[in-house]
Amino acid sequence: MKKYLKICITVLLSLLLLISVTGCQPNTAKQQEKPKIINISYSTKPLNAPAIVALEKKMFEDEFAKDEIQVKWYELEGPATTEALAGKSIDFATSLNYVSAIISNANGNDIKILSSYSKFPKGIGLVAAKGGEIASVADLKGKKVALQKGTMLHEMLIKALAEAGMSANDVEIISMASADALNALLQKQVDAAVIPDPLLTKGIASQKITLIRNAEGLILGQAVIAARTEFIQKYPETTKRFLEIHQQILDWIQENQVEALRMTADANGMELKAVTALYPKFDFTMPIDSQDIEKLKESAEFLKANGFIKSDVDPDELINHLVDTGYLPK
C-alpha cells in the first residue's frame, strides 16, 4: 500500500511538473515570435534625413538580419501610404503626415501612431506669384489654390483662411501633388499653392513666387511613425526594436551631421548649402508629449467640423486610441 502510494505521488508530481513546463512554453514562444519580413514605407521628401541615412547605411537591414528578419522598403507618399497600411502591404510608415493618419484611422484603418517622425511648420507655406495681385490671405477670395487634399497642407490653408475671416467656400481648391501644384502656379494655371520644403525654398529662390504665410502657429506640421495595430500586437518586441534602431539613426545623424546632410542633398538633388540652410526647420525628435496630443485632438476636431471625418466621431477618443507611445525607447 505504501509502495503504491509512493508511486502515485511520484506520478502526480511528474504530471504537475509537466503541466508547469508546457504551460510556460506558449508564452515563451509568443514572446520570441518574430516576423520573417518587415515592410516599411519611406519618403525622402520634404527633407527626410533619417530615411535617407537608413537606406544608405542599411542599419535596419543589418540589425534585423541578426534574427534572420528581412527588411523591404517602399517609397510611398500621401494616400498611397495609408492604403498600403490598410491593405497590409506595409507594416510601418516612417513619415506619414498626421492628418492622413487621423482621417485613415477615423475611417476604420486600424493603425497606431508610435512616435513623432518630424515637425516642420516653418517648412510649409502658402505662396503666390511674385508681383501679382495676391499679397495676403484675404486676397485669395474667389481664387484657385493648388494643394494636396486631405493632408496637413489642406488643414493649413483652411486655418489660414479662418484667420483671415474666410472659409474654404471662398476659394476653389485644386487637388494635386506638391510638385505639380508649384508647377501649376508657375504656369499661371492657379493663383496660389500650399507647398512644403524643399519645393517652398526652391520656388522662392526662383524669384517667381512669394511667401504669403507659413504654417507656424496654424498647424502642428508633423509627420509620424505609424504601424498596423495587428502587427505591433503580434510582434511587440520587434516593434520596440524598430523604434530603437530609428533612434540609433538619429544619434548617428547628430554625430555625423555633415555626412548626413550630404546624403540628403544627393538624394533630393539639392546643393549641400541649401540643405544645410533648411535642416534647422526640421525637428526629428521622437517623443510625443501632452501638448502634441492636444494639438492632434484639435486637428481631429477641425477635420470633423470640416467634413473630413464622420460627425459621430469623438475627437478625444479617436486620438487616445490612435496614439500609442508605449513602444518608444526608454
Condensed to tens digits (0 to 9), the pLDDT of residues 84-136 reads 999 999 999 999 999 999 999 999 999 999 999 999 999 999 999 998 899 99
Render the burial of 245-261: b for 16+ CB within 10 Å, e for the rest.
Answer: bbebbbebbeeeeeebb
Residue 68 pLDDT exceeds 80: yes
Burial status of residue 177 (CB atoms within 10 A of its CB: 0-12, 13-18, 19 or more): middle
Condensed to tens digits (0 to 9), the pLDDT of residues 182-205 reads 999 999 999 999 999 989 988 998
Instruction: Determine the pLDDT at residue 149.
Output: 87
> Helix and strand tally (H, E) in the chain?
14, 10
Instruction: Determine the pLDDT at residue 183.
Output: 96
Residue 154: closest CA among 215, 93, 224: 215
Cβ neighbours of residue 256 closer than 8 Å, sequence gap 6 or more: none
Mean pLDDT value across residues 40-44: 95
Instruction: Determine the pLDDT at residue 4.
Output: 44
How far apart CA 168 and CA 189 sit, in angstroms, is 19
Instruction: Determine the pLDDT at residue 32.
Output: 62
Is residue 73 within 8 A of residue 43, CB to CB? The reply is no
For residue 304 the three cell numbers come to: 470633423
